[in-house]
Structure 1
């Protein structure tokens, strides 16, 4: 570690030890009489059961204009800071409930104005249907994060989770395979479902993890990460799943279209006392799985293969709320994708088949020790999560494929199949302490173990078996962090933190790093936010072992494995809310990775694995506009310009090192990307 980085880490460790804070905090009310503004806070719950409603949408409105927005936390609580003295309306919306509005007055000499909501579930009948809608994407004016709301989403039944990511996240682009690239990074993002992480799957897997119907809210965090977040964090995708209100509900739907497109879905939910249950199952099929896949050099046109594909999704959630201080969530998910992959096809013959299976089981318990929302007393929270993640990838090419895989120095050509599977089990433990308003401290640990098996086999075009390789794999990841935040007033917030990560993978041994992070935010008023951020990042690769097959492919020579990516990340940003219903965000970032990570394909096969690039640099600027004026029209627009390029040698992936080739653009560098939506 350089002396400069050691100095950064030492400063952050000192701050962590001083007992400062972790998440957006309420400013101290000492000397409240000197303030010319105040805060509005409260809670949102079910009127019949008292169940807290997380992910609820809260808006502060004055003279018909939205002044500020917020979302409720896991206990249904919200706080909106720095409101000038005066009269406001507080609007609360939640999927499956009747919207409610309350009037509230903010006085300059009061610290916090409380207003609690008890929402009434909407009956499921035609008289309750209101033909009103807005775009599902909003900008959090305090953090700059983009937030997706299922309550406002009316997408096509064929839409997938990766499409929502691509359409929602500024700087995101979706490849024809369905993989999402974010800020020039190659699918380096992590899902958190109800607070529990879902580790990445097998490299090259094209399976959607879950169906969008299970979502209540998604918070996209593409920068400014607290020390809590490690692993693959080009984006942190925080998903809050839903349980509809009321008694037993059942709905079934289906669709059909061109290219034999068809789908069916079934959702069932109910609530009984302190328990809530939700199940969602869906099937989708099409004869146009991937497009485009080949460029015809004779006709100079792009040719779309009509390759069949089928997706199956199953999700179940059980929620138990024994008291207003405890929330327990159990999520179980399973998905399967089966499709034909035209890899190295001959004369349009498609007889390759790939099946991807992914699943996860998440169990989370959140407990708070304070007893009153808005209380000036000391408060704290404990979160404990356990998770199990598994998946498999089975690829069987057709015998009509060109035999291109070679075991050097043997000159015979083979067709290569793969059968890979993995399982990951882990724990996440967090503790948050707020000694008083304006001061918080958070610390925690995330640890997981991964095991699995990788089998590769070959055949000739005549069907005769060739060489094969079989290998077990195992590895682990451990991350420990402490983070603080201090808000001396509602206009300033300093967030600092440090984390230690250790990654263990086959043949790579133990790789570790200490990563300091700091973010300074300035909130002159509820309509404006400025921030600057620096973070040291550590992105481990998947726990995989392709050494056996790549060693055979390279004549018995196996090079060094792929190592974790190590980044220095810098970001500045500004968010402004106009009084006529428009929110704009402008941000710029620069990242230097030494080494960086990209992916590569084993020659003569469809096997995808991660590789290292000696250094990667990514620079970009982003602009977001959320448009919600008075009236029936709303919309949003994302525009990003970034440049991702590499320097030096390409190593790892169990391939012999390629010599430096100067500066080169990366294949996931989208330069200019944009997405827009208008709802009337």
Structure 2
């Protein structure tokens, strides 16, 4: 009752305040003439993300558009004396641009928004860069292009030494992730039109997961009705088809997209040769945006259904005929209202619903050790309010979020003891509540200094038939930036983070039955949220036509959250280590090319270690080392790089490369800090051949040098091999 009253009061206060949206960004700037002088009373039109807005420059030639979602926008300034048009990739940090009026109409400049307000390795990817990447059809493949990314098995990506704890924010709303998903990905990259990735120096508006924050803007469509689609076929029986449609609908804009994909090698198998490894997914997406002057409603619905055969471990003695499988069914509904305030301000109110269901079907006759049959469903209802006000020196943001979650589960885990098989059943539901509120300010102290500071409060409660726990934390965050013109900056950052554990957990009674020899008495429910202290130094340096970003970070964790496999099943359970430490040193170079292309290169060194496993709910801690040990997701060196060259005819050539020094393994005897799987180096290439103004053939080769490396070996993720060389041939088209 007290918590409910507090939240109601908080929402009322925030609704009455003039603060700014967590998902909102600003585009401001100046219109200048051919002589470089500001132009007053020029008409400025902004178009993008299913919306159009207009404004007029003031006496000093300045303009501003507030409360915008991240994405790609076109700005057009017009007077009787000329016209200027620029295309802007708008990240969450906003953008300040200059539009020069030209007498030649039709010239468009493509700008990459300055990122010096973020961390040293933040990345912005627009729709063209995403669609023309060789790995653009795979979200893990896209994430592996990020600085500090290390490939885990079956679609898991570890960023900056963290355990895959990526915070996805879709159209301004954090996506709940209640179930312990170890394979597949519920977000379809074909639904993404823009991605803004924050890798550090997080302001107070962000909470939950801190490996990276991935702000995603979903598919948009402007202008007259049109279709777009693609079909692709390749090695391992891979077939991928997609069809999209966009059109004006009433006063708004409608986008519809469907995709179907199947493959004979859907997961990373435990053996060099994949056995029993087919899979597929079907995705549907709808988005409708309704502008009302400078305000707009935005509604989106995404649905994903994935089905996988679990590869058989034939080398480990599992029969070829073993028939384990898993299905994942996810739906996410999001409704947002954006209201522009007078001046530079905006309010955003939203409600979202998320349902996820994962089902595992075991094969007790052939499974070794354990056999899993499970059906788990999570349902989340999220309410959020985010507000902003902006002045010449300050940008004040405030917001609150409440999430109510319910996890219904049935686990049937059969212990395959010869002559005495037994089944442990766990059907205890879990209920969770998450609350958060934040207040932050970006203070432009002068032409050379900027201070970002804020305070965040997080609360988390979890209930079940055998436990009732609650936690909270107040997290201050501060960042001081020294600016060197429009392209250079150096910053210092300090912040506290709070990460709740997963709501999907094995009950204490079931845990004792699974580990009766090691755990003869009922263990307490002893999971705890992770609490971090993060210290960073970094910056941005102009380097020729590009930009070099640097980031050095030290994150120290109390009650670090990791996960462990339940027996040899596909079910994973959160555990705590008493302490954790992640050291990161990263450099990232980005250079824009003509026609919207780019060159990028990043090198990262990380060291992720844990100390003192302290969870007794399941038995992984019994007999484990109490000293510092490398995390299973620790990869000391990672590098990625690539180039996208677009030609004037609508074709392109893209190349991506990825290097990893290898994740941790336990094959060494005695165990050592440097015990890793062998390193790998892979290259992917794609050529797009324009066959008209709106169609292209694509030819691609993934893993060009056929490096079928071990992704993981003898660690908590099991054994997994990467796929070999893949050939792909596709066709893309659009009409409008």
Q: Secondary structure at the match of 2:428?
A: strand
Which of 301, 305, 311 is matched with 1:336 structurally?
305
Tell me what 1:477 maps to.
434
Tell me what 2:150 maps to.
173
The 1-side partners of 2:66 and 2:389 are apart by: 21
Alpha-carbon spacing, 1:103–1:180, altered in 2? closer, same or farther (3 Å): closer
Q: Secondary structure at the match of 1:594?
A: strand
Name whichever of 463-472 and 337-346 sits farther off. 463-472
The 1-side partners of 2:356 and 2:173 are apart by: 18
The 2-side partners of 1:334 and 1:527 are apart by: 41
The 2-side partners of 1:78 and 1:284 are apart by: 31
Tell me what 2:501 maps to.
541
Deviation at 1:263, TM superposition (A): 1.5
The 2-side partners of 1:440 and 1:281 are apart by: 39
Asked whether the equivalents of residues 535 and 570 of structure 1 are also in contact (C-alpha less than 8 Å), the reply is yes
Which of 129, 135, 146 is matched with 1:152 structurally?
129
The 2-side partners of 1:75 and 1:416 are apart by: 42
Q: Secondary structure at the match of 1:51?
A: strand
Which of 310, 313, 335 is matched with 1:363 structurally?
335
The 2-side partners of 1:540 and 1:42 are apart by: 48
Tell me what 1:227 maps to.
204
Alpha-carbon spacing, 1:224–1:25, altered in 2? closer, same or farther (3 Å): farther
Residues 1:626 and 2:590 are matched in the alignment = yes
Q: Secondary structure at the match of 1:164?
A: helix
Asked whether the equivalents of residues 206 and 356 of structure 1 are also in contact (C-alpha less than 8 Å), the reply is no
Which of 617, 621, 629 is matched with 1:664 structurally?
629
Tell me what 1:304 maps to.
274
Asked whether the equivalents of residues 399 and 462 of structure 1 are also in contact (C-alpha less than 8 Å), the reply is no
Deviation at 1:486, TM superposition (A): 1.3
Tell me what 2:380 maps to.
424
> What does 1:77-226 align with in structure 2 at a 5 Å threshold?
91-92=86-87, 104=99, 140-144=115-119, 145-153=122-130, 154-156=132-134, 159-167=137-145, 169-226=146-203
Name whichever of 421-430 and 439-448 sits farther off. 439-448
The 2-side partners of 1:121 and 1:316 are apart by: 33
The 1-side partners of 2:449 and 2:43 are apart by: 22
Tell me what 2:613 maps to.
649
Asked whether the equivalents of residues 622 and 641 of structure 1 are also in contact (C-alpha less than 8 Å), the reply is yes
Asked whether the equivalents of residues 182 and 570 of structure 2 are also in contact (C-alpha less than 8 Å), the reply is no
Report the TM-score, using the length of structure 1 for normalisation.
Answer: 0.77
Deviation at 1:660, TM superposition (A): 4.4
Alpha-carbon spacing, 1:558–1:604, altered in 2? closer, same or farther (3 Å): farther
Name whichever of 455-464 and 18-27 sits farther off. 18-27
Which of 537, 551, 564 is matched with 1:587 structurally?
551
Name whichever of 546-555 and 523-532 sits farther off. 546-555
Alpha-carbon spacing, 1:449–1:89, altered in 2? closer, same or farther (3 Å): same
The 2-side partners of 1:437 and 1:266 are apart by: 45
> What does 1:250-649 align with in structure 2 at a 5 Å threshold?
250-294=227-271, 302-305=272-275, 307-324=277-294, 326-342=295-311, 345=314, 346-370=318-342, 379-405=344-370, 415-434=371-390, 436-458=391-413, 466-506=423-463, 507=467, 509-547=469-507, 548-555=509-516, 557-578=522-543, 580-628=544-592, 634-649=598-613
Asked whether the equivalents of residues 456 and 549 of structure 1 are also in contact (C-alpha less than 8 Å), the reply is no
Asked whether the equivalents of residues 496 and 534 of structure 2 are also in contact (C-alpha less than 8 Å), the reply is yes
Tell me what 2:5 maps to.
none
Deviation at 1:141, TM superposition (A): 3.4
Q: Secondary structure at the match of 1:213?
A: helix
Q: Secondary structure at the match of 2:512?
A: helix
Alpha-carbon spacing, 1:26–1:534, altered in 2? closer, same or farther (3 Å): farther
The 2-side partners of 1:254 and 1:77 are apart by: 25
The 2-side partners of 1:222 and 1:42 are apart by: 37
Alpha-carbon spacing, 1:272–1:636, altered in 2? closer, same or farther (3 Å): same
Tell me what 1:62 maps to.
none
Deviation at 1:483, TM superposition (A): 1.1
The 1-side partners of 2:70 and 2:187 are apart by: 25
Alpha-carbon spacing, 1:596–1:38, altered in 2? closer, same or farther (3 Å): farther
The 2-side partners of 1:462 and 1:279 are apart by: 55
Tell me what 2:224 maps to.
247
> What does 1:59-70 align with in structure 2 at a 5 Å threshold?
none
Deviation at 1:186, TM superposition (A): 1.1
Unpaired runs of at least 5, structure 2: 1-16, 31-36, 55-64, 76-82, 91-96, 646-736
RCO comparison, higher one (Cα < 8 Å, 6+): 1
Alpha-carbon spacing, 1:322–1:75, altered in 2? closer, same or farther (3 Å): farther
Per-residue Cα deviation, 1:476-506 (whole angstroms, up to 9, x for no partner): 1101111122112232110111111111123
Q: Secondary structure at the match of 2:310?
A: coil
The 1-side partners of 2:599 and 2:495 are apart by: 32
The 1-side partners of 2:51 and 2:28 are apart by: 28
Q: Secondary structure at the match of 2:513?
A: helix
Alpha-carbon spacing, 1:603–1:38, altered in 2? closer, same or farther (3 Å): farther
The 1-side partners of 2:28 and 2:248 are apart by: 38
Deviation at 1:382, TM superposition (A): 0.9
Asked whether the equivalents of residues 617 and 645 of structure 1 are also in contact (C-alpha less than 8 Å), the reply is yes
Asked whether the equivalents of residues 136 and 189 of structure 2 are also in contact (C-alpha less than 8 Å), the reply is no
Asked whether the equivalents of residues 329 and 357 of structure 2 are also in contact (C-alpha less than 8 Å), the reply is yes
The 1-side partners of 2:489 and 2:43 are apart by: 23
Deviation at 1:466, TM superposition (A): 3.5
Per-residue Cα deviation, 1:563-596 (whole angstroms, up to 9, x for no partner): 1100000111111123x42211111000000011
Deviation at 1:419, TM superposition (A): 1.4
Deviation at 1:656, TM superposition (A): 7.1
Asked whether the equivalents of residues 351 and 400 of structure 1 are also in contact (C-alpha less than 8 Å), the reply is no
Deviation at 1:240, TM superposition (A): 1.2
The 2-side partners of 1:522 and 1:674 are apart by: 28
Report the TM-score, using the length of structure 2 for normalisation.
Answer: 0.71
Name whichever of 150-159 and 586-595 sits farther off. 150-159
Alpha-carbon spacing, 1:241–1:606, altered in 2? closer, same or farther (3 Å): closer
Per-residue Cα deviation, 1:194-246 (whole angstroms, up to 9, x for no partner): 11111114103423222222222111011111111111122111111232222
Name whichever of 586-595 and 140-149 sits farther off. 140-149
Aligned-residue RMSD, C-alpha: 4.0
Tell me what 1:51 maps to.
52
Unpaired runs of at least 5, structure 1: 1-16, 30-36, 54-69, 81-87, 96-101, 106-114, 123-131, 295-301, 371-377, 406-414
The 2-side partners of 1:213 and 1:647 are apart by: 40
